[in-house]
Amino acid sequence: MGFTGLARWLNAPSNGIDIVQANLRTNHSALFHSRWHLSVKSYRSVLGQLPDANIQSERNMFALTLDENVFILLEDPAAPSRADVLAAAPPGQEAIYLQSPSHYRNTFLTLRPPGGLEQLLAQIKARWISVRQATGQRNNINGQQLTIEGRTFSIGTDWLVRVGNVQLAGGAIKGMLLEQKAEYLPLPVLHSAVADGTSELLSNLLTSILPNLPDAKTVAVTISDAQWEDVLWDRDQEVREMKDPEPEVMNDDPYAWDGTDIVEWKQGDWVGVDRDQRSAFLIMGALRSEGLL
């Protein structure tokens, strides 16, 4: 199973990356792995400018570019979420209700290559504008809004730690972002004694990575499994499973492992692009909560 954790060091100094690097090497024997670079842009629809348009609220789109992939989160505040539809559905009518909306509040996509989204929006003259551009880049759909520049370190063969400064388009530094991730193949699920399900393993490691400075302002970034499921769920697949559920198979082997608490797991779902999806969603959520997007 894969794990990921995210934290913000809001008042990190200009040499914050060097401080974290020294701490990682001294206390965790970490090794430099690679350079970490990503960029984020946000867009807003202007459909309300169309004649006779009856738009309740404009839509938001966030695009995070990491390596050769672009992770896009499209949000329509006027559309229902999966949880809203299921809550309104009478018992036994969930499958029918899930097919009713034309689309849902959140749509999460992965595109390649980088730059393809901007080209598509320009070619079809889509009514989207880039927001929060630097001076002289107003409404420039190609300008980057925010970047994260840093380094990636490895701890043993399991853990990867990413550390980077958050830099706005105008050059201002808005603290530091720290991400830690790992994959433990023998464990498809991690149980926690904490009431909210927070992993103590992640929390303790994250605490040890951050420097022990008296005035350091740090914030942990979390996402519940319900939120993540609401973003990534496959409507067609869920409807098929509701209409034709698979029969429950009982295993009488006393040594068989009980995996009934695992909702969904597949081999390799924490490598490559699939692994980076959750990271991208967490990072966009953290930056949005601070009003940086």
- What's residue 45's pLDDT? 86
Question: Taking a C-beta distance cutoff of 8 angstroms, is the pair 179, 171 a contact?
Answer: no
- DSSP-derived 3-state class of residue 202: helix
Q: What is the pLDDT of residue 71?
A: 93
Predicted pLDDT at 188: 52
Write the DSSP symbol of residue 195.
Answer: T
Look at residue 124 in the predicted model and tell me its pLDDT: 78
Q: What is the pLDDT of residue 276?
A: 83
Q: pLDDT of the chain along its 293 residues, tens only? A: 456 778 899 999 989 999 999 999 998 899 999 999 999 999 988 877 766 666 677 889 999 999 889 999 988 888 888 888 888 888 888 888 888 888 888 888 888 888 888 888 888 777 888 876 444 444 455 556 899 999 999 988 878 899 999 998 888 899 999 988 765 544 555 555 555 555 666 667 777 787 778 888 888 777 666 666 677 776 666 666 666 666 666 666 665 555 555 545 444 445 567 778 888 988 998 898 888 88
pLDDT at residue 138, rounded to an integer: 47
Residue length, the chain?
Answer: 293
Question: How distant, in Å, are the alpha carbons of 14, 37, 109 from that of 141?
Answer: 30, 20, 19
**pTM of the predicted structure, to 2 decimals:** 0.79
Neighbour count for residue 182 (Cβ, 10 Å): 20
In this prediction, residue 158 carries a pLDDT of 78
Predicted pLDDT of residue 116: 81
Handedness of CA 211, 178, 143, 67 (dihedral sign): positive
The domains of the chain, with CATH numbers, are: 3-134+143-239+268-290 (2.40.320.10)
Q: Which residues lie closer than 8 Å to 8 by C-beta, 6 or more apart?
A: 175, 176, 177, 178, 218, 219, 221, 286, 290
Q: What confidence score (pLDDT) does residue 115 get?
A: 83
Copy the structure tokens of residue 37: 């670079």
Q: How open is the CA angle 186-3-193, to the nearest 5 degrees? A: 85
